[in-house]
Amino acid sequence: MSTTTSITRPDFASPAFRANPWPFYAQLRHQAPAHKLTLGDGKPAWLIVRYPDVASALKDPRLSKNPFTTLTPEERKQKLPWIPGFLQPLANTMLDRDGPDHTRLRGLAHQAFTPKRIEELRVRIESLCDDLLARAKARGEMDLLADFAMPVPVFVIAEILGIPEEDRLRFRRWTERMVTVAGLSDMFLAMPAMWAFLRYVRKLVERRRHELGDDLISALIRAEENGDRLSEDELLSMVFLLLVAGHETTVNLISTGMLALLDQPEAWDRLRSEPALVPSAVEELLRFTSVVDFGTERYTTSDVDAGGLVIPRGERVLTMLGSANHDEAVFADPEALRLDREPNRHVTFGGGAHYCLGAPLARMEAQIAFRALIREAPVLHLAVPREAVRFRKSMALRCLQALPVLVPNAKPARRAA
């Protein structure tokens, strides 16, 4: 069997769909384990939607990250897309590698995310969170996304990579432009941001070559000089990838997670009264919000079975992480926010060889952020009507445009016994 039930494709990138994709995903799970649809880029892809099939696909070596693995040399010549010269370093990032190449690059990037390096950042992150919330309380309001959720992970990844403080907001604006790409027209509109970003990274790398420090870019340059087969393009693509991927998940987890808690005040009340729940609450928010909704593209190198449905060789496959995280066959009452859910085997960080390298750091940042909110800003209210809170246009991410909140400089009143 190689066909699926006909369905109407939604606009996956639209803010309205991003706000509530769960009913559509439930429909897909009930119809078939995989669906072939034409996406916003005009190309077909198979969507794998059920938890067991998604978890299996993430680890299946027959699903290659390299889109040209399944092509003959002649087909590669015909299908290799034209890419502007300045974007060449992004044409083959660590995300698009398999086997030894991926292992080599991942090993180099891992230097940024060792337990020791992550733990060294804890005190500085806690201090930053407290400072940001003190400013918000003094004003009595803030955009929780721009004034709190964004500065924390941007600070961390910039510290790891050695980005000067005065440049950090610039690269955040560039990445915002790039993650909204949902089709060819968006790609063209994002070109100036991509060009500016890569130009900046090239200059930064060149500066580090003459002035090595205790940051990851310097470590990557040392590895290159020690013969670790890291090319100039690989170095640029690694820095680019870490800058973008190294903070987007955490920004969106903190902001959409807080929105979910504001939508369900009883959950926020419980978290405030039981702060020991923060680690399990972060795991549940990772599942419930599913800020990384689609896994990155994979390509079948042979026929692959998805729940009895055969996906032929040479097809593009997307693992629907958000759908898997809300699969009622695995998660009891998946549309309920249960802060103490156990077990919670969500797939927000992917799986297999491409499991998110920064997952431990993202968890730590989110836990610190929510503990700070409980301690310093326990009384939060939306500053706008709920319907005014909108998601951004994005193909794969669930991210808010803004989250305006009121921050009274007061502790919550004790409830009567």
State the CATH number of the domain containing residue 391: 1.10.630.10
Percent share of the chain, pLDDT over 90: 51
Spatial distance between the Cα atoms of 257 and 263, rounded to a whole number of angstroms? 10
Quickly state the pLDDT bin for 168 (edges 50, 70, 90).
confident
Q: Tell me, what's the pLDDT at 68?
A: 73
Mean pLDDT of 16-22: 96
Beta strands in 90-226 (DSSP E): 141-143
**Residue 414 is assigned to a structural domain of this protein:** no
Least confidently predicted of 56-70, 95-109, 186-200, 362-376 = 186-200
pLDDT at 1 over 50: no
**Residue 27 is assigned to a structural domain of this protein:** yes
Quickly state the pLDDT bin for 136 (edges 50, 70, 90).
very high
**Residue 10 is assigned to a structural domain of this protein:** no
Range of the domain at 259: 15-406
Percent share of the chain, pLDDT over 70: 86
- Is the model more confident about 176 or about 407? 407
**Residue 4 is assigned to a structural domain of this protein:** no
Most confident of 69-73, 82-86, 362-366: 362-366
Mean pLDDT of 404-415: 72
**Residue 416 is assigned to a structural domain of this protein:** no
Q: Tell me, what's the pLDDT at 223?
A: 75
Q: What is the pLDDT of residues 324-364, one digit of tens each?
A: 999 999 999 999 999 999 999 999 999 999 898 889 999 99
Spatial distance between the Cα atoms of 317 and 46, rounded to a whole number of angstroms? 5
**Rounded (10°) CA dihedral 307, 39, 320, 21:** -120
Quickly state the pLDDT bin for 3 (edges 50, 70, 90).
very low
Quickly state the pLDDT bin for 66 (edges 50, 70, 90).
confident
Mean pLDDT of 145-152: 93
**Residue 7 is assigned to a structural domain of this protein:** no
Least confidently predicted of 72-81, 160-169, 244-253, 254-263 = 72-81
pLDDT at 412 over 60: no
Q: Tell me, what's the pLDDT at 2?
A: 39
Q: Tell me, what's the pLDDT at 274?
A: 97
Report which of 147, 143, 145, 165 is spatially closest to residue 155, judged by C-alpha positions: 165
Beta strands in 364-412 (DSSP E): 381-382, 404-406
pLDDT at 155 over 60: yes
Beta strands in 141-200 (DSSP E): 141-143
Report which of 253, 256, 267, 235 is spatially closest to residue 349, judged by C-alpha positions: 253
Quickly state the pLDDT bin for 94 (edges 50, 70, 90).
confident
**Residue 378 is assigned to a structural domain of this protein:** yes
- Is the model more confident about 315 or about 9? 315
Report the number of distinct structural domains present in the chain. 1
Spatial distance between the Cα atoms of 220 and 214, rounded to a whole number of angstroms? 11
Strand ranges of the sheet holding 298-300, from the earlier edge strand across to the other edge: 34-38, 44-48, 316-319, 298-300, 63-64
Q: Tell me, what's the pLDDT at 415?
A: 45
Least confidently predicted of 62-66, 114-118, 329-333, 380-384 = 114-118
Average pLDDT of the chain, as a whole number? 86
pLDDT at 70 over 50: yes
Quickly state the pLDDT bin for 6 (edges 50, 70, 90).
low
**Residue 415 is assigned to a structural domain of this protein:** no
pLDDT at 181 over 60: no
Q: What is the pLDDT of residues 199-255, one digit of tens each?
A: 888 888 888 888 888 888 888 888 765 666 677 788 888 887 777 777 788 999 999
Mean pLDDT of 307-320: 92
Q: Tell me, what's the pLDDT at 315?
A: 92
CB 176 within 8 A of CB 399: no
> Count of residues for the chain?
417
Least confidently predicted of 74-88, 293-307, 325-339 = 74-88
